[in-house]
Amino acid sequence: MPSSESPIDLAEVLAHARRRTLTLLEPLDDKLLVRQVSPLQSPLVWDLAHIGYFEELWLLRRAAGLSSLSPAYDDLYDSFAHDRSERVELPLLDPAAARAYVGEVREAVLELLPQLDDFLVGMVTQHELQHVETMTQTLVLAGLPESAPEVEASGDVLVGAGPFTLGSTDRWAYDNERPQHVVDLPAFRIDRALVTNAEYAEFSGRPAPNGRAHEPVQHVSFHEAEGFARWAGKRLPTEAEWEKAAKTAVDELEHAQGAVWQWTATAFDGYPGFRAYPYAEYSEMFFGGDYRVLRGGSWVTDPLVARPTFRNWDLPQRRQLFSGIRCASDV
Ligand SMILES: [Fe+2]
């Protein structure tokens, strides 16, 4: 993938992702690591070994042509081989073996690093950081306390009519953020603030978590987000509106990124001229209208992942993710 930007220390970003993984898992005992906390989530020890598997597959096997460390891993740790709810039944590596495996893969990657493709190293780094968020979802379902920065803003911002450029040419942007293209939108208004727990409680009757009335609501489904917006006399932004606001009025939006993901009205699909890269399973198999796009990034999302063009997606009924609401309205 061509890049005109300044060099990134690839060893440092890989180490950063690994520190986040190990910091998250270190205090946990093995019983929690192997437990099926929810049918929506994998056992944490699966995520850990899968991080190593993905790194081995893309950097050691496909990029460097090395042979597999164990043929069994193609079945155990491929995301599409088994449903998340079934993974606890598989003969998974135990926590100590999983740690040893990810360490062994990383050691080999660091030796080969000068010859590895920048985009693939970036993909592997982002993949690990995205699993840090998935594992944090699992831990929250298991009772880990969570929080998000408080909401202070109010009112909305007028985003004027006109064309803007949607998508990214960033060196590490995923295939679904490409190709960049011009989109012409009518004027719209978008809220400066995220919806708080207190506001959401008024709509839903679901009480705000203790002491967190002024934090953004999280763990709402798309359907709930849409219901709230309608109740408030507004609507969800389309993802193009969200990105235009994030690119042209970012100083006026509070917590555009770094608090909670924000549901958009848009179904996940390819941009005009989409080409799967480097594999169809990353984005393309989720296209077609079943999944809704979320934008922004949560209090867990790493800045290396949270680009203003980054597209997250999930099923409209899901609420295990750190998902909240920013409303928009017509002018
Ligand atoms: Fe994965």
> What is the chain's percent helix, strand, coil content, to nearest 5?
40, 15, 45
Bridge partners of residue 323, in order along the sequence: 261
Report the separation in Å between the CA atom of 129 and the middle of ligand 1, taken as the mean of its atom positions: 10
Q: What is the DSSP letter of 62?
A: I
Band (pLDDT 50/70/90 cuts) for residue 248 is very high
Instruction: List the 328-330 sheet strands across, edge first.
Output: 156-159, 188-191, 328-330
Query: What percentage of the chain has pLDDT greater than the value 70?
Result: 98
Residues 83-106, mean pLDDT to the nearest whole number = 97
Instruction: Give residue 127 CA to ligand 1 midpoint distance, Å.
Output: 6
| pTM of the full structure | 0.95
* CA atoms of 51 and 131, how far apart (whole Å): 8
Burial class (CB in 10 A: 0-12, 13-18, 19+), 242: buried
| Alpha carbon of 227 to ligand 1 centroid (Å) | 31
Q: How far is the CA of 50 from the centre of ligand 1 (A)?
A: 7
Say how many Å lie between the CA of residue 75 and the centre of ligand 1.
14
328's CB contacts (< 8 A; 6+ apart) are 188, 189, 190, 191, 229, 234, 235, 236, 237, 241
Quick check: 207 pLDDT over 80?
A: yes
Per-residue model confidence as pLDDT tens digits over 2-41: 344 556 899 999 999 999 999 999 999 999 999 999 999 9
For 204, the token pair is 């839903």
Alpha carbons 255 and 46: distance in angstroms, whole number? 32
> How far does residue 48's CA lie from ligand 1's centre (Å)?
10
Distance between CA atoms of 106 and 264, rounded to whole angstroms?
37
Give 235 Cα–ligand 1 centroid separation in angstroms. 32
Write out pLDDT tens, residues 41-68.
999 999 999 999 999 999 999 999 999 9
CB atoms within 10 A of CB 51: 27
Place 316 in a pLDDT band, splitting at 50, 70 and 90: very high
| Sequence-ordered list of residues with C-beta below 8 angstroms from that of 57, at least 6 positions apart, any chain | none
CA 126 to centroid of ligand 1, rounded, Å: 10
136 CA from centroid of ligand 1 (Å): 14
Distance from the alpha carbon of residue 120 to the mean position of ligand 1, in angstroms? 14
Q: Give the Å distance between the CA of 51 and the centre of ligand 1.
A: 7
* 209 contacts: CB under 8 Å, gap ≥ 6: 197, 215
Give the model's confidence band at 257: pLDDT under 50 very low, under 70 low, under 90 confident, else very high.
Answer: very high
Ligand 1: centre distance to CA 215 (Å): 30
| Alpha-carbon span 241 to 158, nearest angstrom | 11
Write out pLDDT tens, residues 218-230: 999 999 999 999 9
